[in-house]
Structure 1
Amino acid sequence: MNALSHSPTPTDNEINLDDFETKHRSSSRLNRFVFAISIFLAVAHIYINTIGTLPELWVSAFHFAGFGTLCALLIPANPKWRDSKVALICDALIVIALVGMVLYIVFFEDALYARGVTFDTGDWIVSSISILLALELIRRTSGWFIPLLIIVALTYVVLWGKWIGGAFSFPGLSVETLLYRSFFSTDGMFGSISRISWSFVFMFILFGAFLVKSGAGDFIIALSRTLASKMIGGPGFVAVLGSGLMGSVSGSSVANTVSTGVITIPLMRKAGFPARFAAGIEAAASTGGQLMPPVMGAGAFIMASYTQVSYVTIISVAAIPALLYFLSVGFFVRVEAKRSKVIATEDNGISITQVLKEGWHHIVPLAVLVTLLIQGFTPTYAAGLSVLAVIVSSWLSKEHRMGPTAILDAMAQGAKNMSTTAVLLVGIGLVVNVISTTGVGNTFSLLITDWAGGSLFFTILLVAIASLILGMGLPVTASYIVLGTLSAPALFNLIAESQLLEMMASGTLPQAASAVFMLADPSALTALAQGMSMDQAAALLAQIPGDFKSMLMNQALGAESVAMILVTAHMIIFWLSQDSNVTPPVCLTAFAAAAIAKTPPMRTGVTAWKLAKGLYIVPLLMAYTPLIGGDAETLLRLTIFAIFGMYALVAAMEGYLEDKLSILPRLLVLIASGMMLWPKLDLWIQLIGLAIFLVIFVIGHKKYSNTVQATSAA
């Protein structure tokens, strides 16, 4: 028996990803044309990201035009018109307009600057039509919310910004200036977000497509089933392991759900897990795929661009938080398995040695990728060489050797997978441009700080609410971009100030930083050297002018720590942006899992929301502890207590730990979880919490074992 041949016979429960995300046209001639364009786009982007030296504006315009063409051909304006002659003519006009846009930028950009950036008729027409094309293509792929958001943002700049009073009043720009900044400059739709899209994001999506085509998905599921086969609740852990490993290369929670869920959800239901729980576990685990390095959706690349911290650093500090999240989902699996009497998955007689023997070559491309990144190569270069490693390593397989046809199929699939993401990121660039041009981001950050009363916890709570609201209409990546632009400065300042206040209160502020306080109070040096209360420290810090605070933070905390605090702020926002995947009323990932499990979508969303509680706990740990950027000893302590603390919290929520918990043990377990997770408590308090949890765990395990033995004897 082949260890990697696990895919079940197609059933009514299975969902085809293409059918789930888009409604493709039925014309075979059109499909061949789409295939050819996809190959061309893949080859062109590989060239651009390796040896090409074209201007970034040209590349971004080509990127938008190419993938916009795919969207126009794959997704009709209205499903009812999908094969009508009128629809095809309209789509042909869109394609012609996209091609014309690229040619106009290439041949007429210099003429614009020769005129002193004064628009002529052609500039007005092309820039206006290009923005309208972006709105239409995004509407086809993501619905009306994002186009309406873009329209509101653009009209704010030129129309109604001057009509509103207060902090968000904006005097306005001319339409010509807005069109120039939106279209011709590197700040708008062809700005940094577009650059990230055509470089990092595309290359890693292409890498993921090649991995899937080479059979790596089968290997991941087979490996997960083998590793989890002897575990209590084995099929649930197959979902957790499989979705984590698959998500580390796919970066898409919905794609993760429908690709692994068709296998894991039936497995969990067959083993005895409730159907809604099985769907919720798959949705929660698949959501974690966007938190798992090295891909993390597009988040890691955008975060690296925003923070100016290297991509390698981003994915290295993201690893432990991602591990904690998947463990938290796994704890729900174990608790439910105990309660539902799910012991282990069926033993198919395949050992892990056999799985690795047949599929070890799938590990080679990932090893190549990680090695190249550690050696300092750029992510795009590393991804390009890793694609070659996938092809070469596939030749070691008997069933998935990639010849010319398979290579072309993988390139085409990678381009198709990229199409909706590319159009979306280009369009979101328009919103980001408005935020930076008008200063709305700084205003919003100041308002968040004001509304939260300077409280870090309430600031995170406000960001979480905002992310949920945005997530009802924006995909995760777009939601992170908008929220990161708006609220990251406020979150960064509060985290940095909290660390600065602790140093002031403890008397450990460096002397160079203490000298800054002489500007406000010459007598402060003595108090700073001796230490003070947190209230006194806050009052003293409030006397420092805002212009000097950034200098003070750099001197007190150090440039490296400040950079890690900025990464922490963005990582918190990125994590909170994931909640729309599993939080009703949208929760697309949960809806996908519900369709496979045939469970009520909204109730499945509620279950997934409960099972994904790590999305809220881990960001709080990031904010209040050095979980991002801490030293090895600190990270070890934090990780150990976080693991047991989250397990205790899951048990308290479910009322079950090895056996059913009565009111008093359940309350004690809840208290123990707080003692282990609360960041400001002393080590001895955390140890007491751990001891309480372990005692209740051992008692419950003995009771559970006795019950099982008595049942077996009967």
Structure 2
Amino acid sequence: MIGSLVATGRRRKLAAGSQRALIIVAAIFAGWVIYANLFTISDPLILGILFVCGIYTIMFVAIGATPAAPDKVPFYDSGMSILSLACGVFFFTNAGAISDRISLLEPFTPAQLFFGSALMLLTLEATRRTTGMGLTAVVMLFLLYNQFGSLLPPPFGHGISDYTYLLDILVFTTDGVFGVPIQVVASYVFLFVMFGTFLSKAGGGEFFFNLASLVTGKSRGGPAKIAVISSGLYGTMSGSPTSDVVATGSITIPVMKRLGYKARFAGAVEVAASTGGSAMPPIMGSAAFILAEYTSVPYQEVVLAALLPALLYYLGVFLQVHLRAVKDDLRPSDGEIPTVVETFRTGWVFMIPIIGIVWALLAGYSPTFTAGVGVLAAVGAATLLKATRLSAWQVIEGLGETTLRILPVAGACAAAGLVIGGLSMTGLGMKAANVILTISGGQAAVTLVIAAVVTIILGLGMPTPSAYILAAVLVGPALAKLGYPILQSHMFLLYYAIMSALTPPIAVAALAAAAIADEDPFKIAFSAVRLAAIGFLMPFAFIWNPGLLLLGDTLTNSVAILGGVLATAAIAISIEGYVGVALRQVERLFLVLAAIAAVQPVLSASLVGIVVILLLSARYVILLRRQDGMKPA
């Protein structure tokens, strides 16, 4: 059942000549995206039309209809690819007339009705192939509501029942398929994915792994710590929990198992670490860009606000892994750890594009320009050394791979556009907000709990961007009605959309790790939830205390940083129940209470929590020294 919800179409392995042709076509498409974003001022509708139809043209050739699809492209996939191209030609050649027509008043021509309906059906099929039936079923449910909701009684009913009305909003304006999600994907998301592709192709992934090995490889639990750090670093490029698990877990999980780590723990470490990649700036699973566009908060502010929570998340996972390693006496890596010289002999070039992106962000440039700087810096830096230099064909491959990597995100965001358009058309978002507030009785804490649960449920089996978008339009209005600032409330929703990737019963990241670890995905998921506990608690802390998002004054932010670090350590120790000595239940509870106090927005309460945690830490240090002193020489 779960497998059918998350099962996607199979990525085809075409014959050598056909695969080469596909890469070239995909590279040409990527080149057009660069040109359209950096060198022209494109009309949003035209950009969306060409991007969606071009992506679909490639998608139906590259991805089969089922997990068992043949490598040879069948006639129906060729037909859908040609139909996608035809839709693109029609919409592009008629873009002026479509832009000038008065929505909902001018009737459709037969051609407009045909190609509009075809594009909607192609979007549903593209969503099913790239994200599975989970998101597709949700989109179809909303489409059914949009079409037949007039039959429902108040307050859930609406007055719209005409199919052409639905088609007009969802396909012939920038409120539907060509709306905010696809506009974001067609611009800076595409370029940031390209940055990650070129950085990885030149050897950036290996550099990050070696860097993690250099830092933690010889300590207890070294391989698990390597997984945490390397997954976090890799997440800055990929931003996808599943791809992060596959990329880094294929190395770290077998190493952990070989050294005697249980398969369940090895898989859970990788899942918890990889899921955090979607919270790690600058890419954040592309949802950060959608959040910035949807809320009108500058992207630089989103990245800055996301930085501390992401670091605290990884600190929590790292500390739990360390405490578990100490408690279970897990061994360090038995492989050769690279030296500083070996790591940076070629790896130093990968610092250039990262510095370039940071500079562009701090200088206040747009996300699109920032991503462009990252791409040029990544390719340019790689040419400095022979070991990292990319050939002309590798550059073409990098461009083509970027397009192929963006296929699932594009399919999901086009489908999300259908949902957003329908919600704005019928007003269901505000109705859902009213229902949530009615259930919670308007109590802030209860509303936040409901919002978290609903967001996780919406995200089960879905990509992070889709889960966030659904939560933003359905749950976001409820948080707004309670008066929460827009950035804090949407960061709250984004975090739970991210955490849905490791939450049972679906836990797509755990499904990916299970295949590598050869373990039950449910066991991995439940263990990962424990390791990632900070991720579930953090949103309540930062919506409560804006200093954790660096949104306060200098004193507020400084106290919040110190309180956040100590609270994270206290929670990690409490969960593991061990800090060199076993803790009693009452001590673990006391640590939790002190952690809650440490992140209070009230300065005096926060300082009390901080002092208590420091005193407890001093006590544990004394106990450990006494314990070491009693050991025989």
The reply to whether TM is greater than 0.5 is: yes
Shift of 1:271: 4.2
1:370-449 alignment to 2 at 5 Å? 370-449=358-437
Calculate the TM-score normalised by the size of structure 1. 0.83
Matched, 1:141 2:63: no
Task: From 480, 504, 510, give the equivalent of 2:468.
Answer: 480
Q: For the residues of structure 2 that align with 1:403 and 1:333, how far apart are their CA atoms?
A: 41
SS of equivalent to 1:40: helix
Q: For the residues of structure 2 that align with 1:254 and 1:418, how far apart are their CA atoms?
A: 14
Gapped runs of 5+ residues in structure 1? 1-18, 497-564
SS of equivalent to 1:166: coil
1:166-185 alignment to 2 at 5 Å? 166-185=154-173
Match of 2:570 in 1: 648
Shift of 1:706: 5.2
The answer on whether the counterparts of 1:669 and 1:692 sit within 8 Å (CA) in structure 2 is no
Greater shift, 199-208 or 461-470, is seen at: 461-470
Q: For the residues of structure 2 that align with 1:309 and 1:670, how far apart are their CA atoms?
A: 33
User: Closer, same or farther in 2 for the Cα pair 1:316/1:337, shift >3 Å?
Assistant: same
Shift of 1:109: 4.0
Q: For the residues of structure 1 that align with 2:219 and 2:56, how far apart are their CA atoms?
A: 47
Shift of 1:457: 1.7
Match of 1:128 in 2: 117
User: Closer, same or farther in 2 for the Cα pair 1:369/1:189, shift >3 Å?
Assistant: same
1:544-693 alignment to 2 at 5 Å? 565-626=485-546, 627-628=548-549, 629-677=551-599, 679=601, 682-693=605-616
**Deviations along 1:369-390, whole A, 9 cap, x unmatched?**
1111221222112212221211
Q: For the residues of structure 2 that align with 1:429 and 1:315, how far apart are their CA atoms?
A: 24
Matched, 1:53 2:44: no
Calculate the TM-score normalised by the size of structure 2. 0.93
Match of 1:282 in 2: 270
Shift of 1:36: 1.9
User: Closer, same or farther in 2 for the Cα pair 1:401/1:482, shift >3 Å?
Assistant: same
Q: For the residues of structure 2 that align with 1:701 and 1:170, how far apart are their CA atoms?
A: 66
- What amino acid maps onto 1:333 in structure 2? V
Q: For the residues of structure 2 that align with 1:446 and 1:412, how far apart are their CA atoms?
A: 46
The answer on whether the counterparts of 1:646 and 1:677 sit within 8 Å (CA) in structure 2 is no
**Deviations along 1:536-570, whole A, 9 cap, x unmatched?**
xxxxxxxxxxxxxxxxxxxxxxxxxxxxx211110
Match of 1:95 in 2: 81
SS of equivalent to 2:482: helix
Match of 2:147 in 1: 158
1:207-218 alignment to 2 at 5 Å? 207-218=195-206
Greater shift, 433-442 or 391-400, is seen at: 391-400
- What amino acid maps onto 2:77 in structure 1? D
- What amino acid maps onto 1:427 in structure 2? A
Q: For the residues of structure 1 that align with 2:605 and 2:66, how far apart are their CA atoms?
A: 61
Shift of 1:226: 0.3
User: Closer, same or farther in 2 for the Cα pair 1:341/1:42, shift >3 Å?
Assistant: same
RMSD of aligned residue pairs (Cα, Å): 2.2
Match of 1:697 in 2: 620
The answer on whether the counterparts of 1:594 and 1:601 sit within 8 Å (CA) in structure 2 is yes
User: Closer, same or farther in 2 for the Cα pair 1:291/1:120, shift >3 Å?
Assistant: same
User: Closer, same or farther in 2 for the Cα pair 1:121/1:256, shift >3 Å?
Assistant: same
The answer on whether the counterparts of 1:621 and 1:679 sit within 8 Å (CA) in structure 2 is no
User: Closer, same or farther in 2 for the Cα pair 1:407/1:109, shift >3 Å?
Assistant: closer
Q: For the residues of structure 2 that align with 1:341 and 1:396, how far apart are their CA atoms?
A: 44
Q: For the residues of structure 1 that align with 2:444 and 2:329, how far apart are their CA atoms?
A: 42
The answer on whether the counterparts of 2:191 and 2:372 sit within 8 Å (CA) in structure 1 is yes
The answer on whether the counterparts of 1:272 and 1:340 sit within 8 Å (CA) in structure 2 is no
SS of equivalent to 2:375: helix
User: Closer, same or farther in 2 for the Cα pair 1:388/1:620, shift >3 Å?
Assistant: same
Q: For the residues of structure 2 that align with 1:488 and 1:114, how far apart are their CA atoms?
A: 32
Q: For the residues of structure 1 that align with 2:44 and 2:594, how far apart are their CA atoms?
A: 54
User: Closer, same or farther in 2 for the Cα pair 1:210/1:687, shift >3 Å?
Assistant: closer
Q: For the residues of structure 1 that align with 2:512 and 2:311, how far apart are their CA atoms?
A: 24
SS of equivalent to 1:622: helix
Shift of 1:233: 2.6
User: Closer, same or farther in 2 for the Cα pair 1:388/1:691, shift >3 Å?
Assistant: closer
The answer on whether the counterparts of 1:456 and 1:495 sit within 8 Å (CA) in structure 2 is no
Q: For the residues of structure 1 that align with 2:464 and 2:25, how far apart are their CA atoms?
A: 27
Matched, 1:301 2:289: yes
Shift of 1:275: 2.4
Shift of 1:684: 4.8
**Deviations along 1:270-296, whole A, 9 cap, x unmatched?**
444332112111111111101011111
The answer on whether the counterparts of 1:594 and 1:600 sit within 8 Å (CA) in structure 2 is yes
The answer on whether the counterparts of 1:673 and 1:689 sit within 8 Å (CA) in structure 2 is no
Q: For the residues of structure 1 that align with 2:68 and 2:219, how far apart are their CA atoms?
A: 49
Shift of 1:424: 1.5
User: Closer, same or farther in 2 for the Cα pair 1:141/1:706, shift >3 Å?
Assistant: farther
Q: For the residues of structure 2 that align with 1:701 and 1:593, how far apart are their CA atoms?
A: 36
1:500-539 alignment to 2 at 5 Å? none
Match of 1:236 in 2: 224
Shift of 1:225: 0.6
Number of equivalences: 621
Shift of 1:484: 0.7
Match of 1:500 in 2: none
SS of equivalent to 2:94: helix
Shift of 1:605: 0.8
SS of equivalent to 1:49: helix
Question: Higher Cα Rg: structure 1 or 2?
Answer: 1
Shift of 1:441: 1.2
**Deviations along 1:380-413, whole A, 9 cap, x unmatched?**
1221222121122112233221120111111111
Match of 2:3 in 1: none
Matched, 1:190 2:178: yes
**Deviations along 1:416-471, whole A, 9 cap, x unmatched?**
10111112111210100011111111222222222212222211211121122212
Match of 2:4 in 1: none
Match of 2:238 in 1: 250
Greater shift, 344-353 or 626-635, is seen at: 344-353
- What amino acid maps onto 1:298 in structure 2? S
- What amino acid maps onto 2:138 in structure 1? L
Q: For the residues of structure 2 that align with 1:703 and 1:256, how far apart are their CA atoms?
A: 43
User: Closer, same or farther in 2 for the Cα pair 1:676/1:343, shift >3 Å?
Assistant: farther
The answer on whether the counterparts of 1:659 and 1:703 sit within 8 Å (CA) in structure 2 is no
User: Closer, same or farther in 2 for the Cα pair 1:174/1:359, shift >3 Å?
Assistant: same
Greater shift, 696-705 or 245-254, is seen at: 696-705
- What amino acid maps onto 1:371 in structure 2? W
Matched, 1:118 2:104: no
**Deviations along 1:213-255, whole A, 9 cap, x unmatched?**
0100010000111011354432222111111111012111111
Q: For the residues of structure 1 that align with 2:338 and 2:71, how far apart are their CA atoms?
A: 48
Shift of 1:346: 4.4
1:231-380 alignment to 2 at 5 Å? 231-342=219-330, 344-346=332-334, 348=336, 350-380=338-368
Task: From 97, 104, 116, give the equivalent of 2:90.
Answer: 104
The answer on whether the counterparts of 2:219 and 2:332 sit within 8 Å (CA) in structure 1 is yes
Q: For the residues of structure 1 that align with 2:425 and 2:537, how far apart are their CA atoms?
A: 35
